[in-house]
Structure 1
Amino acid sequence: MEALYSFIGLVLLVGQWILPKIIDVGEEEMRDTPVYRWFLLGSWALLIPVLILIWTMDRSRPYPVWPFLLAVLYCYRGCMEWKYIRETMRHQVSFILAGVFILFALLMVCILLFGTTNL
């Protein structure tokens, strides 16, 4: 199971780095908007439970809540980017990563339901 968690972390890092290079996201960022403070507060409010869960969870069992919370975080980012800097296409990167994390959450639910314990 630890390999799957490591793969999810790798997808997160590589996705954040590669996707903006594939999709032309433009120059404007959320820090250029008047709602940047709310964007940061919301992002941190959604990220703190993810970090606490990662810190405290047993990595030998599947926890579909972890990728689901990451998907919620990226949906929030995508909505804020879509609303305030729509022309940059940064929201597409966030929504793609949110979809990937939903798929990981569904995979973990399937592992829990149909259970193989030697992953």
Structure 2
Amino acid sequence: MILLPEPVWPVIVLAVIVFGDGLLTFRPPRAIAACLDGVGFPREWWWVLAVVKFLAAAGLVTGIWIPGLGAAAAAGLVVYFLCAAAAHLRARYVGRDFWLNCLGMLVICIAVLAFCFL
């Protein structure tokens, strides 16, 4: 395992994506709100998702200089999207949102973790 990302650019791209996703979680568009409602995630807890995403983005960026932090943030995102996938499967909410958004982000996070830190 590599403690500092090599190359760095996929980590930065993932951080930007996750930060943007966090912004969308504060005032979700109709599709994201429908997805969160579809899996039964309580509306009063939606803000927690934004905080998790902002912390992950900060960990990815800071991990460019602090050994191990970026890898931990990337691994945390893999776990986050595994949990999201489990919530989708549990709720049987497996439409387009599940395949494109949830599993798509899971694949991207796994790819960044593997490509930059392994």
- What band does the TM-score fall into relative to the shorter chain? 0.5 to 0.7
Equivalenced residues, count:
100
Which structure has more RCO (C-alpha within 8 Å, separation ≥ 6)?
2
Q: 2:80 aligns with which of 53, 73, 79?
A: 73
Q: Distance in 1 between matches of 2:17 and 2:54?
A: 20
In the other structure, the counterpart of 1:30 is 36
SS in structure 1 at match of 2:65? coil
1:83 Cα deviation (Å)?
Answer: 2.2
Q: CA RMSD in A?
A: 4.0
- Judge conservation of contact 2:12–2:60 (CA < 8 Å) in 1: no
Structure 2 gap segments, 5+ residues each? 1-6, 22-30
In the other structure, the counterpart of 1:20 is none
Q: Distance in 2 between matches of 1:44 and 1:13?
A: 8
In the other structure, the counterpart of 1:98 is 106
CA deviations over 1:5-32 (Å, ceiling 9, x no partner): 32223455799xxxxxxxxx8x943235
Larger Rg: 1
1:73 Cα deviation (Å)?
Answer: 1.4
Amino acid at match of 2:85: G
1:67 Cα deviation (Å)?
Answer: 1.5
